[in-house]
Amino acid sequence: MTRLVIVGDTLLDADVDGAVRRVAPDAPAPVLDQEHVAERPGGAGLAALLAAADGHDVTLVTALAADAPAARITARLAAAGVRLCALPVTGTTPEKIRLRADGRVLLRLDRGEGGDIGPAPDLDCLHTADAILVSDYGRGVAAHPEVRAALTAAKAPIVWDPHPRGPAPVPGVRLATPNAAEVRTATGAGGTALAAASHGGHELRRRWRAAAVAVTTGAAGAVLCHSGPTPLVVPAPAAADGDTCGAGDRFAAAAAAALASGALVTEAVQAAVAAATAYVAAGGVAAALAPPPAPAEPARHGHDDAGRLAAEVRARGGTVVATGGCFDLLHAGHVATLEAARSLGDCLVVLLNSDASVRGLKGPDRPLNDQHDRARLLAALGCVDAVVVFDEATPEAALTWLRPDVWVKGGDYDTVPESALVAGWGGQTVIVPYLDGHSTTTMIAAARGSRQPEGATR
């Protein structure tokens, strides 16, 4: 399986679709009656989803705020099998919201302020990649000194999708993929579209010390500027009329995947043009990404509260503590673990396995209590400050979003699987003892009048 690492800024994209049937009485503006909302990761997050949908092994190096939009981004990426290497960032997650009627955009609303990006976690993934895609959206990840140093040292071919507000690519990238408008703005190249792409592409190739520059020209395809003065024009295989949102990400991800498989740059650009054309013709991002199964309402229980709480605690220099589990039959052993965890910091967030997650881990006859009741009981405890329900088999996605300073497990573990993840943002993993004789599985077995299953755990 091809290992792709995608580096860049992730946002939350939303399409608000509806119908316009009237004009506002107080202004000459159409009134959109909302009918459907679709959310997805945008920017580098969209490139990661598209690459994962193609069957590649994808790791995303990005910056994530500690807020509810970032939690929704993380959940979608985790569901697609994308691994996250998250840099902490202050502020709020950028959002791009398109208001649409009959498939046409009426207005785009941008919100979210971003912020300062903290120290990078372990970036070893860049050294084991088959190819790297830098999907720069001008919000700081591609300019991060530690990230740039790791990219410069990487041996894998790099595709760099630049942004006007972003930095220049690191020297030696295999392929840079600006669009025609970006090339004109950056170089002042004029003349026909082909002349501007050719002259501007060669100028950027020299300026950036890149092996090749592919100037994307929308429905016309791309112009590849590489060795020699004559550009290679790669036309689109067929005219495509449709939603072009994400077409640049589709192009860059396809080019990176082709280079990872050993393709020549010319072959990679041809594959990328074909992929981007097919993407638009098929209906764009809405068709490319199958909507995730709608979670039950409690599946995001407490994200907003937990995000605000963690931000407030960090703002005053406090310590955010988290623990997790099924908590199917709340007992004194659980309470002892939770109280011990709370004593290690200034707030305690419990990451709670959803009903579907518990069934996957413990079998079809569990849980005994549904996630509504389990979350409510936990939240009622004085030592618990917030509860977040997650659907995955492990809490890694929720941990990546929350990034607690301390991750607590109760029991007699020799190792904790999440330790390396937590250490990646400078967090610490702690094991606290549980009360002997207080095992959920044992208690359920006793209540049912059956023998405890061999190897049962709490």
d(CA 277, CA 310): 43
**∠ at Cα 91 (89, 92), nearest 5°?**
100
Which residue out of 67, 249, 328, 355 is catalytically annotated? 249
Beta bridge partners of 387: 350
- Can you tell me which residue has the tokens 């573990």? 413
- For residues 391 and 75, the answer to whether their CB atoms sit within 8 Å is yes
d(CA 122, CA 127): 11
Give a three-class secondary structure readout of the chain: CCEEEEEECEEEEEEEEEEEEEECCCCCCEEEEEEEEEEEEEEHHHHHHHHHHCCCEEEEEEEECCCHHHHHHHHHHHHCCCEEEEEEECCECCEEEEEEECCEEEEEEEECCECCECCCCCCHHHHCCCEEEEECCCCCCCCCHHHHHHHHHCCCCEEEECCCCCCCCCCCCCEECCEHHHHHHHHCCCCCHHHHHHHHHHHHHHHHCCCCEEEECHHHEEEEECCCCCCEEEECCCCCCCCCCCHHHHHHHHHHHHHHCCCCHHHHHHHHHHHHHHHHHCCCHHHHCCCCCCCCHHHHCCHHHHHHHHHHHHHCCCCEEEEEECCCCCCHHHHHHHHHHHCCCCEEEEEEECHHHHHHHHCCCCCCCCHHHHHHHHHHCCCCCEEEEECCCCCHHHHHHHCCCEEEEECCCCCCCCHHHHHCCCCEEEEECCCCCCCHHHHHHHHCCCCCCCCCCC
- For residues 67 and 311, the answer to whether their CB atoms sit within 8 Å is yes
249 catalytic? Reply is: yes
d(CA 251, CA 234): 13
d(CA 369, CA 360): 15
Question: Which are the catalytic amino acids?
Answer: 249
